[in-house]
Amino acid sequence: MKAWAVVAHGAPLECVELPDPEPAGTDVVVEVTRCGVCHSDLHLWHGGYDLGGGKFLAVKDRGLLLPAAPGHEIVGRVVRFGPDATGVAIGDERVVYPWIGCGQCDRCAAEEDNLCLNQRSPGAIVNGGFARLVKVPPNPAGHLAGG
Ligand SMILES: [Zn+2]
Ligand SMILES: [Zn+2]
């Protein structure tokens, strides 16, 4: 798939070819129709987060590998899904819930997956909406809103 990706922190995005995401289980893949830009995307582009007091959280230390497509404010049309996905149909246009935890840890069990240390969030940890396709793994919000 084509993706506008960060290939080096602080450098212009480049249009690159990345592997198409393969849905398994209850994963859903959407073809992006719209994607916002927010300051978190600039952190990804810059390479991390200034935590104050001289501390810096590097996105690579959160598991982000380059090249990476930013964009976590995603609307897309469902094009594929895993064999166990329910409540979706090909062609549905949905908003993607991006703050997706591991589903295994205490934070995720407490429905605080935005605080999970092993996130799988599109556009923050894995490829996001600046790519043509986005895989949305299972999450407490049920993948997707709207319908
Ligand atoms: Zn944002
Ligand atoms: Zn977790």
The percent of residues above 90 in pLDDT, for the chain, comes to: 64
Span 69-119, pLDDT tens digits: 999 999 999 999 999 988 889 999 999 988 888 889 999 999 888 888 888
Residue 147 in this model has a pLDDT that exceeds 70? no
Tell which residue, 88, 90, 96, has the closest CA to residue 129. 96
Nearest ligand atom owner, CA of 119 = 2
Give the total number of structural domains in the chain.
Answer: 1
CA of 19 to the centre of ligand 1 (A): 25
Q: Is the dihedral of CA 12, 119, 73, 29 positive or negative?
A: positive
Q: Which domain holds residue 103?
A: 2-145
Q: Are 80 and 120 in contact (CB under 8 A)?
A: no
Q: Which residues surround ligand 1, an ion (CB under 5 A)?
A: 38, 40
Q: What is the CATH number of the domain that holds 72?
A: 3.90.180.10
Range with the poorest average pLDDT among 31-35, 46-50, 117-121, 142-146: 142-146
Q: Model's pTM, two decimal places?
A: 0.87
CA of 91 to the centre of ligand 1 (A): 25
